[in-house]
Structure 1
Amino acid sequence: MRRRAPGAEHGRVTEIMTGPQMSPLEILALLGAVALVVARWLPPAARPRVTVAAAAVLVPSTIVTAVVGIRWQLLPVLAGAALAAPFALAPLLRGRRRGGRPAWRARWWLALPGSVACAALIATGPVAAWAFPVPVFPEPSGEFAVGTRVVQWTDPRRPETFTADPGDLRTVVVQLWYPAQHSPAGTRRAQYLGRTEQEARTVSEALARGVGLPGFLVDGAPRARSRAVFDAPPATGGRRFPVVLFSPGSGGVRTQNTAWAEELASHGYVVAALDHPYDSAAVVLADGRTITSETASSGDPDKDEELAAGWTAVRAADLGFVLTRLDAEARGESAGPLTGRLDTSRVAVGGHSMGGAAALQAARQDGRFAAVIDLDGYPHGPTTPALHQPTLALTQAITPATDPRYPPRLTEALTANTATSYRLTIPGAAHLTFMDGPLYLPPVPSIVGSLGRTESPHVVAAATLAFLDAVLRNGSGDPAGALRTYGDLTVHRPGDSR
């Protein structure tokens, strides 16, 4: 069913699809398995019919599911059904004893523990499907449909610092989400996490490895489709759209904020999200090569800060390079579907976690960026020169587990800014609230926050839009009133007493 997300003050009310986390075939298999367990406890006259009906539902649905691709969440359901099947089918296969007496059945006090065990196994399936679902992306609330495309660009002036080959030049993969024309009903939507399902699985498994999880746990993510359409024609009307560059978190990938990017694009922004090779968990290049992450913590806080500052500098240079390429396309110096549709005089740079730190550094180094968005990112690297662009920092609440260096470091960056900065602390948020994690990870507050799968993407995107509309579209607009709707706001204005 459709459920309206609360607090949708920006544009049309955002609608989120909610419903069962199992496919119709999986639900049929689940019902068949339950019926096999229940059959043992029905009156004798009903048992054969229920058992046959259960088998008739369970077997075909399992076969078809196996053909289209079985999910691990269904395996405990099938295990429970397999354990229950001999007890449910045995009386049918043996028929009746001589003299017309019913075939032997285990006494209830013997059958009860087995039935309970089978039911517990079967129940594990829907619980696992709820905890690790195939993500369902929010329907963007803006006036535009959303298109997406992937490009790969090589910087001829920068050698790749992660390799020893002097001829290896820095290459980045960029995914663009942009306002598009509405596609016909039934048009296939873009694969999540990659251009193809194979790329999506490669990326998903690399992300899982990066946090120490077996890849099968999050196998729902590469099965998902977002709301965008690959290579959809740009929106008509000749408008030029402001641009938002995005850098993912450490080990993160360009698609990790797809729901956020699609919402922004539906409201008339072009979002360009980067894969940073050798930093992102897995980057699949156009020639088929896969580059995995080579960044890792040393365990020494001082050494790790030095490493993070270096990685952040590489990311900041990547962001500047991508803006140069987009600017060339905006001015018609390079051909592309968005030639003449990009307004590179109105550009924001943002990122999540380490990507937020990279956005802050990119803005310090490059005056072409007119605004900054830091999604819960610790400011690694140098603190000078001071920022001079309006800046929005979205953070989770500070707790005893928070790195004690984070709040003062962030405050230093915001108070030194020569433009107004905003820090918005979102109640109930966790670090992964600020990306797509709540859509497909277990709803455990310490992991994804307590806002839930519906509200998490809405709050982050709506707060971002309130800020961007004020500083990029309305010039000197002040988003403070709108931002207070979403959390606890601190405003740092130039000249305020520190």
Structure 2
Amino acid sequence: MSVMDVLLALGAIAYAVTAIASRRLARWGTLVLLPVLAVGGVAQWIVEGFYWQFAPTYVLVCGAAGLVVAQRDRDRQSTWRRRWVGVARGGVGILVVVAGIAWLLVPVPNLPRPTGPYAVGTEVFRLVDPQRSETATDSADDHRNVVVQAWYPADPAVSGTPSTYLDGLDRLPEQVTVLPACLMRGYGRIDTHGRTGVPVSADRARWPVVLFSPGYGAPRGFYTGLIADLASRGVVVFAVDHPYEVAVTELVDGTIATQQQRFLDDDPDQSRYMSAQLDVRTADLRFVVDQLGRPGGFGARLSDRLDTEHVAAIGHSFGGATAAAALASDPRLTAAANIDGTLYGTLPQQALTKPFLLLESDHSETGHSAQYLDGNRALLDRLRAPGFRYEIAEANHYSFTDAPRFLADPARHLVAQFIGGSRGPRQTQRATNDILMAFLQDPLGIGHGDTAAAAAKYRNIHGGPVR
């Protein structure tokens, strides 16, 4: 929330309290707080636009003002009017509660500033693979779109233009993953800490590459906090959207693709569907690697600055399975990391020959399925290269995403009591990126990392080498 939002919310509560407390305080609140709130509300609408989360706040201010008027000359009022005033006081009290609940849903989330030594540049590439048909649509002429957002170490001397948090903000479907689109009314104002139109840092001639695949149905934007921080540490991250599975993606022709799930009646646990979708995602990553090696594949700014000999894949949830599957099938990748992902198909039976990392949320908080536990155990048992497994205590499945930041701190704390994640996204993601960077240094050719030491810096992170 912005400073303006916080002040408006606190001022509305204070005014409501004065209206309920006594006529003297009500008079003071009307003379002092009400004009400030009126000016602040108008200023908020002009600067930030309307958020439905603040509608109860506006009603609260109006209700408190009406209560102040109704309480005038209370000694001369009839009995029934005094009763109605009492009801009005209770109504204003209820409005305080309603407004408080609405404020738990943050209008404009604040993402943490990246912790690495580099400024962050970003650019979106909307590509079409002419070799693959789009199986999610009914048109035989449709080819597979792959949307990639590059995040890279940038020259801090060039300011650039702020990047957009999410595709199609003005054309969102009714729901984006589990969130109603109306909650995202102000998401165009989120500071991603990434800037467009800025040159790549000159500190290295070529920068190593990390492919990132998001969770099932989740837009790449929901991982901006994690990804921007990773790029600030000295790698180029290509965050890949998988159209028609992700909740919302803008395609190369400008149309908005939404989720199209084609479940089968004879596939009750959807394992066949997920296995097939894993193949689609793996092909998406392979296509991105193809573009890395093609002259001009990612524009004049980036193409000549990429170290195509050092490419790793990471991902969260279904994206973690995608990273592992890509490592198993594409010899051009040098390492992979699975963040809390369940494996599908024949992937658990693969014998990976490149370094692999499994990062997990707290088992007791996330409640991983038997398929998750058995599949990852089988994959690690067959590993034929250096590998690590770490479990981050007090982190839940969503702690690696921006989703907890969509709630105000009190709501986040309350939700954590039911679904876990009390470590919080900031500490979870910082620990995650410290471990990732230590693990990736050798496979990416940028140094010699100590993965165990990176994990040991944090409390209650359990695990270690598996080979």
What is the TM-score of this pair, normalised by structure 1?
0.82
1:376 aligns with 2:348: no
| CA distance in 2: counterparts of 1:333 and 1:354, whole angstroms | 26
Q: Counterpart of 2:453? A: 481
Partner-residue secondary structure (3-state), 2:127: strand
Q: Does 1:61 align with 2:40?
A: yes
CA distance in 1, matches of 2:213, 2:279: 12
Q: Give the match for residue 390 of structure 1.
A: 355
Check if 1:76 corresponds to 2:45.
Answer: no
Residue 379 of structure 2 corresponds to which residue in structure 1?
Answer: 413
Does the CA-based 8 Å contact 1:81-1:118 persist in structure 2?
no
**Cross-structure match for 2:427:** 455
Q: Secondary structure of 1:157's match?
A: strand
Greater CA deviation, 242-251 or 165-174?
165-174
- Amino acid in structure 2 at the alignment position of 1:50: G
What SS is found at the alignment partner of 1:449? coil
Partner Cα distance (1:31, 1:143) in 2 = 39
The CA RMSD over aligned residues, in Å, is 2.9
Q: Which range moves more in the overlay, 462-471 or 367-376? A: 462-471
Letter in 2 for 1:491: P
Deviation at 1:108, TM superposition (A): 8.2
Corresponding residue number in structure 2 for 1:282? 248
d(CA) in 1 for partners of 2:339, 2:262: 21
User: Which of 110, 126, 150 does residue 152 from structure 1 map onto?
Assistant: 126
Q: How many Å separate the matches in 2 of 1:361 and 1:201?
A: 35
1:21-420 residue pairs with structure 2 within 5 A? 21-24=1-4, 27-28=7-8, 30-32=10-12, 34-35=14-15, 37-39=17-19, 41-42=21-22, 44=24, 47-67=26-46, 68-90=48-70, 104=77, 111=85, 114-183=88-157, 188-194=161-167, 199-203=168-172, 205-207=174-176, 210-211=177-178, 213-219=179-185, 221-295=187-261, 303-329=269-295, 335-383=299-347, 384-399=349-364, 401-420=367-386
- Partners of 2:377 and 2:9 lie apart in 1 by 54
Q: 1:436 is matched with which residue?
A: 402
CA distance in 2, matches of 1:263, 1:342: 19
Q: 1:333 to 1:361 in 2, by over 3 A?
A: closer
Superposed CA offset, 1:413-471 (max 9, x none): 11211101111111011111122222214422255611124323222222222212243
Instruction: Give the distance between the partners of 1:163 and 1:479, measured in 2 at CA.
Output: 43
Change (3 A) 1:206 1:336: farther
Report how far residue 179 of structure 1 moved.
Answer: 0.5
- Secondary structure of the residue that 1:432 maps to in structure 2? coil
Question: How many Å separate the matches in 2 of 1:361 and 1:171?
Answer: 20
Q: Which amino acid aligns with 2:243?
A: P
The 1-side partners of 2:372 and 2:359 are apart by 13
- Runs of 5+ in structure 2 lacking a partner? none
Q: What TM-score does the superposition give when structure 2 sets the normalisation length?
A: 0.87
Once residues 286 and 394 of structure 1 are traced to their aligned partners in structure 2, the CA distance between those partners, rounded to angstroms, is 34
Quick check: 2:15–2:64 contact (8 Å CA) kept in 1? no
Judge conservation of contact 2:434–2:454 (CA < 8 Å) in 1: no
2:67/2:88 contact within 8 Å kept: no
Distance 1:135 1:84 in 2: 29
Q: Which structure 1 residue ranges, 5 or more long, are not aligned?
A: 1-20, 494-498
Q: Which residue of 2 aligns with 1:8?
A: none
Q: Give the secondary-structure state (helix, strand or coil) at the position aligned to 2:302.
A: coil
- Structure 1 range deviating more: 149-158 or 469-478: 469-478
| SS, match of residue 242 in structure 1 | strand
CA distance in 1, matches of 2:302, 2:241: 20
1:32–1:364: structure 2 CA closer, same or farther, 3 Å change rule? closer
CA distance in 2 between counterparts of 1:333 and 1:104 reads 79
C-alpha spacing 1:469/1:488, structure 2 compared with 1 (3 Å): same
Q: Distance in 2 between matches of 1:50 and 1:164?
A: 62
The separation in 2 between residues aligned to 1:120 and 1:181, in whole angstroms, is 52
- 1:39 touches 1:88 (CA, 8 Å); kept in 2? yes
Q: Distance in 2 between matches of 1:90 and 1:256?
A: 47
Change (3 A) 1:36 1:54: farther
* Maintained 8 Å contact 2:126/2:252: yes
Aligned residues: 455
Shift of residue 65, structure 1, vs aligned partner: 2.7
Give the whole-Å Cα distance in 2 for the aligned partners of 1:163 and 1:309: 19
What secondary structure sits across from 2:307 in the alignment? strand
